[in-house]
Structure 1
Amino acid sequence: MDSEADTQLISRAVVDLARHTRFPVVFAGLERDGAVQITAISGTRTHSIDGLVVHTGRGLGGAAMVEKRPRLALEYRTARTITHDYDRAILGEGISTLLAVPIVVTGRPRGIVYCGSWTPGPVGDLVSRPAFRAADFIATELRVREEVNRRVSALTPSENALPATAQEDLRESYAELRSIAASVADSELRARIAAVERRLAAISREAVGPSITLDVTLSPRELDVLACCALGATNAEIAASLSLKEGTVKSYLQAAMAKLDASTRHAAVAKARRAGLLP
């Protein structure tokens, strides 16, 4: 894991959450070696929470990590369903109501997002929703980043060419990233995914023969469809993968073929690869 990138990710999420939540206090951190180090804090009136380390299974956040679901203490001081290992930090800040939302990546708890208030009050879906979104944003960013790192590190270039298995793995990674990007609402994250997609396409460019220059711009959806075609998927399979109608997939494919001046989908994929549009 990249500690600096982790810190920046948590800080960005906490700053954004602080702007959109009704809770005055927001703090969060990621898990490492069985404990969550709080690295980003917003809105506190004291330094009680600074440097807080939450162990799995301990306190409200530790319970949320174990259960992989949000936990809420409307009256933190008298809550009986949690351990009170961190009362000095939480009560030292004067927090009365505390919400802990676990950051879960592919079924594994990876951190905690906390929201707290100094006075007790009701916490409904509308109030808690921004915290859920923040945890989802962090989880998505971690999942994308780690999958990219795993896939890219598995590639072993040899004399500027990739082994067939690595080339296929790269193409699957590219198609998966296209699918993930289509479901991500955050524009900054989409831009970062797009940058990684371009790197993946560049890695394999030498493996598909002499490159060509094309004055062609494919739309995001046309690239999505071609990326799936490159894996041998049928129109029906592409439609299911991208949540599109089969007729819509056919239209995107025909448009891409026309732009690439290709008579078949296979020719379109080959030409797109040689132009560096696809891996």
Structure 2
Amino acid sequence: MSTFETIGSDADLIAQAVRELIRRTRFPVAFGGLLSGGEVPVTSIVGSRTRSLEGLRVQPQRGLGGRAMTELRPRMTHDYGSSRQITHDYDGFVLGEGLRTLLAIPVVVSGRPRGVLYAGAWDESPAGGVAAAPAMQIAEELAGELRIREEVERRLRAANAPTPPPELSPAQRESLREGFAELRSVAALVQDPAVRTRLGDLERRLLALSAPASPPNAPDVHLSPRERDVLACAALGRTNAQIAEELGLRESTVKAYLGTAMAKLDAPTRHAAVAAARREGLMP
């Protein structure tokens, strides 16, 4: 059973882990941090005699802790200053505190390093090997808490992610297009501003039903209401004469509106104009 309190920030968990290192091992000094921006800033220090460890930021593969993170296993030295098994990038911090024995334990979550814990002593501590086991247990408990937090955050992101519109079958999409064209035809005959506003809201809801999972930001083409009316009817295969009768227009007027819509959409035919309007999100 974990001894960690699950409330608080990740930095709070590190502080708890560092305190546990002091309590459950014979090391007088403990410190550590979590990986952030490609390095581990030490955020908690307990038992130090000086302020030399403050500001320490450990990079993977560098120093004892960096090697532990890279190899995903604990590393220890009984004579830090003369060790040839590590780089000495952080001598100013470690030797500035006067540490000689140093144990570095990686915090591994789902097979990847998430941080490192250190336990140290100012002399060549004979208890290093004995204390490694409880130190590793603390690192594993910390990793378990971090794993739970990551899973909770993943589920929260999934729960809050926008739900994509349902995928329409070909028959449903065709029915939607017919309804949209009929709506445009009715809206063209309505004079009441309030009713036209309500019809416009309904039109936007129909367009949202047919929108792709990642819709375009904003249409680059702007069609007039009449151009959209005739294009919506043309999308259903109506002839110019049929569109004119349905919308109460002259056939030549319908042809003119189709021509301007095709020009705006840079389409050589009415069918290409319909396809371009759908790509722009102007019609289902």
Is residue 66 of structure 1 aligned with residue 70 of structure 2? yes
Is residue 148 of structure 1 aligned with residue 152 of structure 2? yes
Q: Match for 1:132: what amino acid? A: M
Q: Equivalent residue of 2:120, what SS? A: strand
Match of 1:137 among 141, 144, 149: 141
Q: Match for 2:100: what amino acid? A: S
Is residue 34 of structure 1 aligned with residue 47 of structure 2? no
Between the two proteins, the alignment pairs up a number of residues equal to 157
TM-score by length of 2: 0.53
Identity across matched positions, percent: 52
* CA distance in structure 1 between the partners assigned to 2:108 and 2:116 by the alignment: 9
Match of residue 120 from structure 2: 116
* CA distance in structure 1 between the partners assigned to 2:150 and 2:33 by the alignment: 17
Task: Say which one has the larger Rg.
Answer: 2
- CA deviations on 1:4-29 (whole Å, 9 max, x unpaired) are 71111111111122111100000010
How far apart are residue 136 of structure 1 and its match?
0.8
TM-score by length of 1: 0.53
Match of residue 80 from structure 1: 84
Q: Equivalent residue of 1:102, what SS? A: strand
Q: Match for 1:80: what amino acid? A: R
Match of 1:56 among 45, 52, 60: 60
Structure 1 residues 119, 155: closer, same or farther in 2, change over 3 A? same
* CA distance in structure 1 between the partners assigned to 2:80 and 2:112 by the alignment: 26
* CA distance in structure 2 between the partners assigned to 1:25 and 1:125 by the alignment: 16
In structure 2, the gaps of 5 or more residues are: 1-7, 167-284
* CA distance in structure 2 between the partners assigned to 1:131 and 1:153 by the alignment: 33
Q: Could you say what the CA RMSD is over the residues aligned between the two structures, in angstroms?
A: 2.0
- 8 Å CA contact 2:21, 2:119 repeated in 1: no
- CA deviations on 1:90-132 (whole Å, 9 max, x unpaired) are 0010100000000000100010000000010334553112211
Structure 1 residues 84, 147: closer, same or farther in 2, change over 3 A? same
Q: Match for 2:118: what amino acid? A: Y
- CA deviations on 1:144-202 (whole Å, 9 max, x unpaired) are 0110110132125999xxx9xxxxxxxxxxxxxxxxxxxxxxxxxxxxxxxxxxxxxxx
Where in structure 1 do 4 or more consecutive aligned residues deviate above 4 Å? 156-159
- 8 Å CA contact 2:33, 2:40 repeated in 1: yes
In structure 1, the gaps of 5 or more residues are: 164-279
Q: Match for 1:52: what amino acid? A: L
Q: Match for 1:126: what amino acid? A: V
* CA distance in structure 2 between the partners assigned to 1:158 and 1:94 by the alignment: 54
- CA deviations on 1:28-47 (whole Å, 9 max, x unpaired) are 10001210000000000000
* Residues 218-229 of structure 1: pairs in structure 2 closer than 5 A: none
- 8 Å CA contact 2:34, 2:40 repeated in 1: yes
Q: Equivalent residue of 1:116, what SS? A: strand
Match of residue 14 from structure 1: 18
Match of residue 93 from structure 1: 97
Q: Equivalent residue of 2:151, what SS? A: helix
Q: Match for 2:80: what amino acid? A: Y
Q: Match for 2:138: what amino acid? A: A
Match of residue 47 from structure 1: 51
* CA distance in structure 1 between the partners assigned to 2:97 and 2:63 by the alignment: 16
Q: Equivalent residue of 2:66, what SS? A: helix
